[in-house]
Chains A and B, each alone.
Chain A
Amino acid sequence: NAGVTQTPKFQVLKTGQSMTLQCAQDMNHNSMYWYRQDPGMGLRLIYYSASEGTTDKGEVPNGYNVSRLNKREFSLRLESAAPSQTSVYFCASRGAGSDTEAFFGQGTRLTVV
Chain B
Amino acid sequence: GENVEQHPSTLSVQEGDSAVIKCTYSDSASNYFPWYKQELGKGPQLIIDIRSNVGEKKDQRIAVTLNKTAKHFSLHITETQPEDSAVYFCAAITGGFKTIFGAGTRLFVKA
Of B43, B93, B98, B100, the residue contacting A99 (CB under 8 A) is B93
CB distance from A87 to the nearest CB of B (A): 14
By beta carbon, the residue of chain A nearest B42 is A106
Binding site for A on B (CB under 8 A): 1, 6, 9, 31-32, 34, 36, 41-46, 49, 51, 89, 93, 95-104
User: With a CB–CB cut-off of 8 A, which chain A residues contact B51?
Assistant: 99
A53 nearest CB across to chain B (Å): 14
Closest partner residue, chain B, to A109 (CB atom):
B41
Q: In whole angstroms, how far apart are the Cα atoms of A33 and B44 in the complex? A: 13
Q: For chain A, what secondary structure do more than half of its interface residues adopt (helix, strand, loop), or is it mixed? A: strand
Q: Which residues of B contact A45 (CB under 8 A)?
A: 98-100
Q: How far is the CB of A9 from chain B (nearest CB, A)?
A: 10
29 contacts across the A-B interface (CB closer than 8 A): A4-B43, A31-B97, A33-B99, A40-B104, A42-B6, A42-B89, A42-B101, A42-B104, A43-B44, A45-B98, A45-B99, A50-B96, A59-B100, A98-B93, A98-B96, A99-B31, A99-B32, A99-B49, A101-B34, A101-B46, A102-B34, A102-B36, A102-B44, A102-B99, A104-B44, A104-B45, A106-B42, A106-B43, A107-B43
